[in-house]
Amino acid sequence: MKKKKIAGDIITYIVLVLISIVWLFPFAGLALQSFRSYDPKVEYGGMVDYLIPKHFSLDNYRFLFSGQTNFLRWYLNTIIIAVFVALFQTIIVLCVSYALSRMRFAGRTLLMRFWLVLGMFPGFLTMICLYFLLKQFGLTQAGAVPGLILVGVASSGMGYYVCKGYFDTLPKALDEAARIDGATRARVFFTITIPMSKPIIIYTALVAFMAPWCDYVFASYVAFGHDESFNVAVAMTRWVWTNDYQGYFTRFCAGGILVAIPVTVLFMCLQKYYVEGVTGGAVKG
Amino acid sequence: MEGIRKVLKTIGTTFATGDFRTRISYFILGFGQLLRGQILKGVVFLLSEVAFFVYMAGFGIRYFSKLSTLGTQVTQKVGRTTTYGDNSFLILLFGILSIFIILAFLVVWYLNVKDNHDSEELLRAGKKLPGNAETFASLFDKHFDKTLLALPVTGIFLFTVLPIAFMICVAFTNYDYNHQAPTNLFTWVGLENFRRLFSFGSSGMGSTFLQVLAWTIVWAFFATFLDYFLGMAVAILINKKGIKCKKLWRTLLVLTIAVPQFVSLLYVMKMFANDGLINGYLMKWGWISSPIPFWVNPMLARITIIVVNIWIGIPYMMLIATGLLMNIPEDLYESARIDGANGWQMFRKITLPYMLFVTGPFLLTQFINNLNNFNVIYLLTQGQPQSMRLAEKAGSTDLLVTWLYKMTVNNTNYRMAAVIGIMVFVVTAVIMLSVYNLLPSVKDEEGFQ
């Protein structure tokens, strides 16, 4: 019996190690190739059939920081968008969730059903119309950054499910006790509900913060042709889709590393809250 | 129906029995409230009426009146001077906006009547009306919901409801590359676009639509269930008693969630390319003589996408499963073990039913999300490889949403894009409604507790 268990454990470890290799391989590749020079005198910056660069070089990173492209600007744009979207989206989601979880008003279920139906339409359907609306306010091309913040925040009220689910589990007795003591709804919200919701606030903000880093579709449409207001996803995707002989691939790898590291570190630090959020959301549907 | 009758009755009786303040309020909103000393309410009602008429007279009516034709005056260019005619896009957009505003005004008007009615009843009963300060304070107490929801609802209206209503209307027009505003007009064409989507002739899109739809559903099925079961399997492996460094294994897997998808997916895409690392090494080792066409062969491309998606999806499922697996009472397994059940039997009889029960709604939403999983498809293949047999530049790995995106951005074929969008909605709604009621956790909420 004991032998069998040890054998089982060994097989498990082998499987886990294999899985880890598969999972880490692309990231290891990304990191290694970012150190391959694109300078034709040293090495080739396009696609090659080996993983480890022959010469270790920081050329790609130097290129990114040299000002030959707007890389720093793109990076800053993305951070600005991500921070503001995270901030406003969290506020809006908290407001909507509290109203729907704690208050009973005419049309409450109707509103929730209506939003559920709205959510069944694909988001890209509305792209040209949104573009036009943004254009009216001058929020495309040069103004794409505030425009993208606006679009990211405007409809975020519909994503209240996880947060409302969390509020539903907070004891109502606390609210009622405070209200008997004469506290208004607003006071209950600010002094009782919000201090108790740290995990869900962090989860909401984290998810909202991560999304703009991958936003290619809408960002490329809104910022079209205006290099200065690209975000990293839009700008660097061009480097991959461009013709290979230009050797932009390693520069993409270097940029990818610079984008991935801060986001990944942040995510890993707040992982606990993320897990809580997705598990709670999954069980409640 | 009952509700509408009640509303009409309130409007009628209030006018018949109300005093002169109430009656004048039917035409001048807020009049009654102002005379009764409720300045705040009165001013808000009055201002909304003023705003409504200013909007309609100065702006709305121009577009609203042309809504039935979407414009008749073509923009003309004589020599160097251009005379701008009607802009169908603006007419449609602001026409719809005007309809919404008219409806909103009717609601405000009714609220005004109802408020007058309520005030009169209060006064008749000898009670005092709430003062201005009280009304204002109620926005943070009794009516706090209105304060909280005002901004989100407005945002959703402007940036979701209005655009969706607009695009639904576009599906019934001929708005495409030949009818671009402001140079050209577009107009209503009835069901022509839908007929085109379902016609199987040489100019129809029927067969392409069916193929894309079929792949969308096949993809969503594999992407959901493969990830689900494999993710659960990995979670069970890591959860196993006696396995060390549980946290480390989990953290390694979670990397795919943490790293922005455009970085990881684009890199993986290049890895599988004809001149990519995988083909490179396989050729160097002499296992193959020519590159495996991962992204070029339609069937292979589909399989590769599903495999890469497993890489993306397992960690997510693993995280969820890990938490849930710990909730299964240990004594269930204990007693099963005493009865002589082996690992597989315990999984089938205890773990799986529990997981399916708890995660039923989650599986459904995952499936719906995968139907619309734009990022994975677009970053990996952009819907390629393209096929001559498919209409409207659809590719073999295009989902309905990526096809919609390409139609909008590359082909400016808005009319068909709108039709596809509506079809996505129909597919989603049908699946949601038919599956939701079959879910065990919906049918039997008490089970497993």
SS3 B141: coil
With 0-12 CB in 10 A as exposed, 13-18 as middle and 19+ as buried, what is A136? exposed
Q: Cβ of B361 under 8 Å from any chain A Cβ?
A: yes
Residue where a domain terminates, one of B190, B221, B248: B190
| pLDDT, tens digit (0-9, with 9 covering 90-100), for B135-192 | 888 888 888 888 889 999 999 998 899 999 999 998 898 888 877 777 777 888 888 8
Of B338, B245, B326, B316, nearest to A9 by C-alpha is B245
- Give B 1-60 residues with CB within 8 A of chain A: none
Give the model confidence (pLDDT) of A35-86 as tens digits: 887 777 777 777 777 778 787 888 888 888 887 888 888 889 999 999 999 9
CA atoms within 13 A on the CB side of A194: 15
Q: Is the pLDDT of residue B218 over 90?
A: yes
A contacts of B281 (beta carbons < 8 Å)? 49
Pairing of the two strands B81-83 and B76-78: antiparallel
**C-beta separation of A36 from A250 below 8 A:** yes
Q: What is the pLDDT of residues A219-271, one digit of tens each?
A: 888 888 788 888 888 888 888 877 665 678 888 888 889 888 888 889 888 88
State the alpha helices, DSSP H only, in chain A: 2-33, 59-65, 71-102, 108-118, 127-136, 144-154, 161-169, 172-180, 185-188, 198-214, 217-222, 232-241, 249-269, 271-284
CA distance, residue B215 to nearest chain A CA (Å)? 17
Q: Judge whether B129 is closer than 8 Å to chain A, CB to CB.
A: no
- pLDDT score recorded for residue A285: 45
Same domain, B144 and B272: no
Q: Is residue B200 in some structural domain?
A: no
Question: Are residue B137 and residue B9 in the same domain, yes or no?
Answer: yes
Here the tokens at position A285 are 């549907």
8 Å CB contact of A156 and B155: yes
Helix ranges (DSSP H) in B240-339: 246-258, 261-271, 277-284, 298-325, 330-338
Residue with the larger pLDDT of the pair B92 and A243: B92
Task: List the single residue in B160, B252, B379 with the smallest CB-CB distance to A155.
Answer: B160
Percent of chain B with pLDDT over 90: 15
**3-class SS at B372?**
coil
Cβ count within 10 A of residue B329: 10
In a domain, B448, yes or no: no
B175 in the same domain as B239: no
Residue B261: inside a domain, yes or no?
yes
**Structure token pair of residue B20:** 């002169």
Mutate to test the interface with B, among A74, A79, A90, A121 (most CBs of B within 10 A): A121
B84, with CB counted inside 10 A (0-12, 13-18, 19+), is: exposed
Helices B39-55, B88-124: inter-axial angle, 10-degree rounding: 160
B332 and B367 share a domain?
yes
Calculate the CA A121 to chain-centre distance. Answer: 21
Q: Say which DSSP state B122 is in.
A: H
Answer yes or no: are the C-beta atoms of A163 and A200 closer than 8 Å: yes
Q: What is the pLDDT of residues B424-447, one digit of tens each?
A: 999 999 988 888 777 766 665 555
* Closest listed residue to residue B362, CA positions, set B309, B306, B323: B323
Cβ-contact A93, A204 below 8 angstroms: yes
Residue B402 lies in a domain: yes
The Cα of A262 is separated from the nearest Cα of chain B by a number of Å equal to 9
The sign of the torsion formed by the CA atoms of B314, B316, B319, B320 equals: negative
Same domain, B292 and B437: yes
Residue among B152, B283, B322 minimizing CB distance to A95? B152
Asked if A23 and B263 come within 8 Å (Cβ–Cβ), the reply is no
Closest CA relative to residue B175, chosen from B76, B70, B68:
B70
Among A150, A151, A148, which residue's Cα sits nearest to residue A226? A148
Same domain, B274 and B335: yes
CA A175, distance to chain mean position in Å, is 33
Specify the residue for token string 């208004």: A184
Residue B121 and residue B253 share a domain: no
Nearest to A235 by CA among A78, A123, A85, A60: A78
Domain that holds residue B282: 206-443
B320, B421, B429: residue with CB nearest A278: B320
Q: Answer with the one of B136, B164, B190 that is the final residue of a domain.
A: B190
Q: Are B378 and B405 in contact (CB under 8 A)?
A: yes
Q: Are residues B62 and B181 in the same domain?
A: yes
Q: Is residue B341 part of a domain?
A: yes
Is the peptide bond preceding residue A146 cis, with omega within 30 degrees of 0? no
Domains in chain B: how many in total?
2
* B238 and B121 fall within a common domain: no
Between A and B, how many CB-CB pairs are < 8 A? 256
Q: Please judge whether B249 and A214 are an interchain contact, meaning their C-beta atoms are less than 8 angstroms apart.
A: no
CA–CA separation, A53 and A36 (whole Å): 5
Quote the pLDDT of residue A244. Answer: 60
Distant-in-sequence, close-in-space partners of B434: CB < 8 Å, separation ≥ 6: none
Domain C-terminal end among B149, B165, B190 = B190
Identify the closest residue of chain A to B361 by CA–CA distance.
A285
Residue B196 counted as domain residue: no
- Residue B47 pLDDT level (bands cut at 50, 70, 90): very high
pLDDT confidence of residue A1: 59
Task: Summarize the confidence of residues B259-287 as an average pLDDT.
Answer: 85
CA–CA gap between residue B20 and residue B31 (Å, rounded): 10
Average the pLDDT over B295-309 and give the result: 88
Decide: helix, strand or coil at residue A67: coil
Residue A92 confidence class, pLDDT cut points 50, 70, 90:
very high
- Contact list, B147 vs chain A (CB under 8 Å): 186
Instruction: Name the residue of chain B whose CA is nearest to A102's CA.
Output: B145
In B, which residues are within 8 Å of A253 by CB distance? 267
pLDDT, tens digit, 9 for 90 and up, residues B7-37: 888 888 888 888 888 888 888 888 888 888 8
Q: How confident is the model at residue B449 (pLDDT cuts 50, 70, 90)?
A: very low
B153 touches chain A (CB under 8 A): yes
Cis before residue B182, ω within 30 degrees of 0? yes
> Do residue B238 and residue B358 come from a single domain?
yes
Contact A74, A231 (CB under 8 A): yes
Is B395 among the domain residues?
A: yes
**Is B321 part of a structural domain of the chain?**
yes
User: Looking at residue B211, which CATH number applies to its domain?
Assistant: 1.10.3720.10
Write the ipTM.
Answer: 0.87
Task: Render pLDDT for A165-217 as a digit per residue (tens, 0 to 9).
Answer: 888 888 888 888 888 888 888 888 998 889 988 989 999 999 999 888 888 88
Shared domain check, B401 and B261: yes
Per-residue model confidence as pLDDT tens digits over B62-76 = 888 888 887 777 777
Containing B83, the helix (H) or strand (E) segment is strand B81-83
Q: Is B201 on the interface with A (CB under 8 A)?
A: no
Lowest mean pLDDT among A48-52, A146-150, B56-60, B141-145: A48-52
Query: What pLDDT band is residue A135 in, cutting at 50, 70 and 90?
Result: confident
Q: Given an 8 Å threshold on Cβ–Cβ distance, is A268 in contact with B424? A: no
Check whether A89 has a pLDDT greater than 90: yes
Q: What is the CA radius of gyration of chain B?
A: 30
C-beta separation of B30 from B45 below 8 A: yes
Q: Please check whether residues B232 and B342 belong to one and the same domain.
A: yes
